[in-house]
Amino acid sequence: GGGRIVSISSGSARSPRPRSAAYAASKAAVDTLSKALALELGPFGITVNVVAAGYIDVRGWSDAHLDGEGEGRAVLLRSIPLGRAGAPTDIAEAVLFLCSEAAGHVSGAVLDVTMGLDRFRA
């Protein structure tokens, strides 16, 4: 037996923004479901973890992105301690880590890939 399950969540699960109740609640559910599954599937050698993404700039990767270079995006970028948005590859690398042997003893974890942003600060 054995295996890896990695779900994608968001920092919004713990630090929601205004007008994001449904989104934040759904991401909190992903986190909690994954922790419960880690308990249930651990005896089978299956690890279950979550990558919680911060603001990921998908421009050039997808049409699902914030509009342009507006002030809202600028405010968000200023609030990120590392001073930059994440890239889709940042999330991919975290998933690859959690699927690797190096993370073989990690289960029930939520790995924040948020560039240090733990709450929305406008």
Q: Which residues are catalytic?
A: 23
Of 54, 50, 52, 72, the residue nearest 115 (C-alpha): 54
DSSP string, 77-107: HHT-TTSS-B-HHHHHHHHHHHHSGGGTT--
Tokens of 50: 């979550």
Q: Would the CA dihedral through 122, 30, 28, 50 be positive or negative?
A: negative
